[in-house]
Structure 1
Amino acid sequence: MKKGTLTSILDDSVENFSGRIAVKSQITGESWTYKQLREQAWRVSAALAKYGVGKGDRVVIVSDNTPAFVAGDYGVLYTGATSVPIDQNLRPADLLSEYLDLAEPKVILAEGKYVNKIRGKSNIQVISLESALMSQSYRPDIQIDAEDPSTIIFSSGTSAESEMSFKAVVLSHGNISSNILATEHFTTRAEKTDGHPQGIYLGGIGKQWHSFEYMMQKAFFHARGMIHFTDMGKLREGTAAEINPHYMIMIPDIADVMMRRIKKQVKDKTGKFYPAFEWFLKHSGDFYYELVNNKSFNIEKWCADLLGNQLFYKRIRGDLEGRIGKNKPRFIGGSSKLPLKHQLFFYILGLPIFQGYGLTETSPVICVNTPEDYRFESSGKVIEGTKVIIADQTALENRKISILGEGERGVILVKGPNVFKEYLKDSKRTENAFVDGWFNTEDLGYKENEFLYIQGRIKDILRSLQGETVDAASIEPAYRNEGRISRVILVGNEQQRIGALIVPDETSTVRLKSGTFDEKSFRASLCENELSDSKERFGFGFLIGNTAIVTDFDEKSLVTNTMKVKREIVKRNYAAKVNKICNPKSG
């Protein structure tokens, strides 16, 4: 697989398409061509050079996900320094100091509204991004190589024991650029396959300090596309239709909100006939699953899908065009695995979600579904240049690799040009992450007909002292926003039994807090209704005795930016409840 540098990729796009629009903002009205974007980046480079920033240095960037961030990031890269984008809304506040202590940046490049906050936490020189963009444009005379570090991404993960437990993943220009080149068959489709003048990616929805959004932005610059920035507020208002994008990121929570809103609208319009809509959804879903995954055509279910389209789906698509545009954007799923019901729902509407899989350490994409190669419940085929094997978990625990066969579940190991080289200042963690040159993802999965199926993190497999084994990553998404439930969190690893913390929906939470609902009766009702099928589906039954209600769950501090629960922190925060339901004799 060919590798380059992130700056050479932008240079190539400027050379061939200098007059094309590279970025726009629905929020600020900014609009830059490719040539202007690079000139803005060079302005930042010039400002940084005045402070002696050069090859081997690190620059922390604190900014919203805007065109200015893109220019600031490239400005750092053109100096030969390493860009370190971090969350502008750090929680807890002390985390900023921890990040800075580890990164040891030469300077901090910050959007104006964050400058004072940072100066109150650090003595490191802070440069206003706005002032840097006012500098005279200047390209540093620096040789940048593929093996040079380009970016450091901070990640806490779901198994961190506290907010202060994190890792800093060092990615090279070659790591990220190889990922960009290996996925160009997808990012160039709007123009090369569909015939649009230019592909448009809806920016501002993902987190720019997250590896997926960071890479995707640069991938669309390689594809000569346009990144049109908005924000979640505008997206909720339905103004994305003004942008009319061809691509947008799709995380589980956004998919769930969209699906529930659509179903509510249908229910409000159809009243007592709403069950008919669910009936058609069920038969359409069965039809497409059998057609796509098994290549089986059921004529009766096909007829039901045709009728469902005439009665319901066509109108829903029309309404969606008014909110997200007529281009029917390709939804790119790159965070946690989407439940099957969400995949089928959007596929039925003609808006398939192209689920992929990867980690920060793999720059991040390992595999992705495409229009030609698509399977429900899978994460697609492995991208060009990357190798994946499935290894026996027991052997791996002894740092030995025993490769499993087709369809056998084991640990996913990866090798390729997109795999990172090290964790910053943590040689022991880096060494432990590799076995015989293969990166251990610590994720479980299997391969079937070249498609990779992800089945969760090793640390999401809970084992009780009684020998009960439960896959939390399979069960928890199935009950996300299900009826009166906001989410369930399985607990009890290495305790007497497995249990579950249940976070009620907003209405139920209010009633529980006010005393309108009896907590025990509420749990019993959930076990008999929303959670009643769990034993049959997953082999784990929700009971009054092994469940507890949590009415003070803080999504901001207990869920990662990819919407995964921070399991260890949850266990610590609710230790008393966990002990009571998982160790009944001691509780």
Structure 2
Amino acid sequence: MDVRTVPDLLRHSLEVHKKPDAFLVKREGRWAPVSIDSFANQVRARAADLTRRGVVRGDRVAIFSENRIDWAVADQAVLSIGAVCVPIYATLPADHVGPLLADSGAVGAFVSSEAQRAKVESVRSQAPGLKWVVSFDVDGAPPGSPAATAATPPGPDDLATIIYTSGTTGVPKGVMLTHGNLVSNALASLTALDLGPTDVHLSFLPLNHIFERTAGYNVMVYAGATIAYAESIEKAASNLMEVRPTLLLAVPRFYEKLIDRIMEVAKAAGFPRDVMALWGRNVAQKWAALKLDGRPIPPGIALQHALANVLVYPVLRRRLGGRIRYGFSGGAALPREIGLFFYGVGLPVMEGYGLTETSPVIAVNTAKHYKLGTVGRPIPGVEVRIAEDGEILVRGPSVMKGYWNRPEETATALEDGWFHTGDIGEIDADGFLRITDRKKDLIVTSGGKKIAPQPIQNALKKSPRILEAIVVGDGRKYATALIVAANGATHEAIEADVDSVNKTLASYETIKRFELIPNDLTVENGSLSQKLEVKRRVISDRYRDLIEKMYHGEE
């Protein structure tokens, strides 16, 4: 069948795969299968209920929930009647949710629980168009039969979703993605990946993030893979051993935490496990570096690697369920030592690159075409070129329609059909894309969270005790800050100011640590531009040791 819209992906799975275990959901302590037929019936029932509520083509409907099968059902139902899904991070505080509901003009909202409903209700005055709120936990499945609705199905050019992403100013921008954007990216990604009906995926990255929505849902549904919904991000590690997935989609921080946890457990166990774990990690990284560089592997390293593959690496594989063939990493840069480790233990992590505006996949490493330190080759149908200033430009069917209600910013981002990513990169002789820098100031943590530093810095500088603040944390677990204090300001007073600002931020934006630096930021020493703006890179280089101190023992 011709697959051109997101509902077509589901219809394809119904006709081709007919899986009795298309989804797995943990209920009363056991993983229960949900067939693709049952899922489709739930979608039809939810779509009929949306129609009864007066939702029509083009209406925006928000989903404010953690990952669960109800999320996927609601999303499919909204899209099936030509309405537009507006996903919202489940961890956002109420004062962050209100502006998104208002800007999108959402007519209704699905929430996971009464706690989430309370957040929405507390800011309802900001969203006058909001007519209803449905809680998955309390309201349950809609009543009535899953009869097909009379709604005209959407077309590939119709808007499917508005996903809010932080701009460098901190004001969220709604990225408009069409059905054609989402489907073209899913199908193109699948041609580059080895996925099929025998694969099992554990979904724990937020579905409101385009990485999980495309790679963890759209791709999996079309390929006929089974999707198991983790109980929570906190229980993902234990769920891995229960579900025993064959694929792993995660952000770099998740892979880092896996290694950290293994080393912690080994250290707690004492000799000889602690020594063996450290030895095994070092051997994996040495062996992988030689292998990937195409250099000969000395007999001593080869022998040690063979021994570690018997004595040490099976422990890691068991922690992941024992069936993982390879992992995928996106959302932030994968540290080289992490990539080397997993390659060395026989679980290569395929790093990719993409943005919400590109649906998201632009390039990805594959089992056949793999080069550590790059984000792979562009997927079929996606063109990538490097501008004169080094910026990565992208063109193709998965590039967004534009920013919701922001024509000027859309025109700036899209020039002659090319999307300006804001990232600096290069393409090597083999066609692999390498990200070398970020043109924007936006911070991306190792967990893939985006933090706009400017609003946080401005909030900190409202205190008379803080003359300057530089938020750092790109590629790190969390945000920290370098602060220039006013004369006479104590460390304790500054700490109180930081705590006060933290209370207004989302959890991933909060400043976990800070250090005071001298008040010597001048144009003459290169710390400030001619416009008296702080040069972040100069300051970061100058105080590199101090920054490392704030992360020492935590990374």
User: Would you call these one fold, judging by a TM-score over 0.5?
Assistant: yes
1:454 and 2:447 matched: no
Alignment of structure 1 residues 381-530 onto 2, 5 Å: 381-393=377-389, 410-448=390-428, 449-460=430-441
Contact 1:366 1:382 (8 Å CA) reproduced: yes
TM superposition score normalised by structure 1:
0.73
What secondary structure, in the 3-state scheme, does the structure 1 residue paired with 2:235 have? helix
- Find the counterpart in structure 2 of residue 83 from structure 1: 85
Q: CA deviation at 1:384?
A: 0.2
Give the superposed CA RMSD: 3.9
- Find the counterpart in structure 1 of residue 297 from structure 2: 299
Of the three residues 341, 344, 348, the one matched with 1:345 is: 341
The amino acid of 2:172's aligned partner reads F
The amino acid of 2:340's aligned partner reads L
The amino acid of 2:223's aligned partner reads A
TM superposition score normalised by structure 2:
0.77
Contact 1:413 1:438 (8 Å CA) reproduced: yes
1:21 and 2:21 matched: yes
- Find the counterpart in structure 2 of residue 138 from structure 1: 147
Q: How many residue pairs end up in the alignment?
A: 479
Q: CA deviation at 1:315?
A: 3.4
Q: CA deviation at 1:102?
A: 0.7
Q: CA deviation at 1:208?
A: 0.9
- Find the counterpart in structure 2 of residue 64 from structure 1: 66
Alignment of structure 1 residues 41-440 onto 2, 5 Å: 41-91=43-93, 93-113=94-114, 114-122=116-124, 124-128=130-134, 129=136, 130-141=139-150, 142-157=152-167, 159-161=168-170, 165-185=171-191, 189-191=194-196, 198-203=198-203, 205-216=204-215, 217-230=217-230, 231-236=232-237, 238-268=238-268, 271=271, 278=278, 281-282=281-282, 284-292=284-292, 294-296=293-295, 298-300=296-298, 303-310=300-307, 312-393=308-389, 410-440=390-420
C-alpha separation in 2, matches of 1:361 and 1:45: 27
User: Per-residue displacement from partner, 1:537-571 (whole Å, max 9, x unpaired)?
Assistant: xxxxxxxxxxx9x99696994775xxxxx6xx969
The amino acid of 2:45's aligned partner reads R
C-alpha separation in 2, matches of 1:267 and 1:19: 44
Q: CA deviation at 1:501?
A: 6.4
Q: CA deviation at 1:218?
A: 1.4
CA 30–75 in structure 1, closer or farther in 2 if over 3 Å, else same: farther
C-alpha separation in 2, matches of 1:368 and 1:135: 44
Q: CA deviation at 1:411?
A: 0.8
The amino acid of 2:149's aligned partner reads P
What secondary structure, in the 3-state scheme, does the structure 2 residue paired with 1:72 have? helix
Contact 1:7 1:77 (8 Å CA) reproduced: yes
User: Per-residue displacement from partner, 1:301-347 (whole Å, max 9, x unpaired)?
Assistant: x541431441x443333323443212124221011001101111111
C-alpha separation in 2, matches of 1:19 and 1:8: 16
Contact 1:445 1:452 (8 Å CA) reproduced: yes
The amino acid of 1:351's aligned partner reads L
User: Per-residue displacement from partner, 1:149-190 (whole Å, max 9, x unpaired)?
Assistant: 111111115x334xxx11100000000100110111355x35
Contact 2:249 2:327 (8 Å CA) reproduced: yes
CA 180–380 in structure 1, closer or farther in 2 if over 3 Å, else same: same
The amino acid of 2:418's aligned partner reads W
The amino acid of 1:198's aligned partner reads T
- Find the counterpart in structure 1 of residue 449 from structure 2: none
Q: CA deviation at 1:107?
A: 1.9
What secondary structure, in the 3-state scheme, does the structure 2 residue paired with 1:440 have? strand
C-alpha separation in 2, matches of 1:200 and 1:372: 21
Unaligned 5+ segments in structure 1 are 192-196, 394-409, 462-471, 478-488, 510-518, 521-547, 561-565
Q: CA deviation at 1:90?
A: 1.7
Unaligned 5+ segments in structure 2 are 447-452, 458-467, 481-489, 529-555
Q: CA deviation at 1:121?
A: 2.1
User: Per-residue displacement from partner, 1:105-129 (whole Å, max 9, x unpaired)?
Assistant: 2222233423343223215222424
Contact 2:363 2:378 (8 Å CA) reproduced: yes
User: Per-residue displacement from partner, 1:470-491 (whole Å, max 9, x unpaired)?
Assistant: xx98xx97xxxxxxxxxxx999
CA 257–570 in structure 1, closer or farther in 2 if over 3 Å, else same: closer
Of the three residues 485, 508, 519, the one matched with 1:580 is: 519
Contact 1:280 1:305 (8 Å CA) reproduced: no
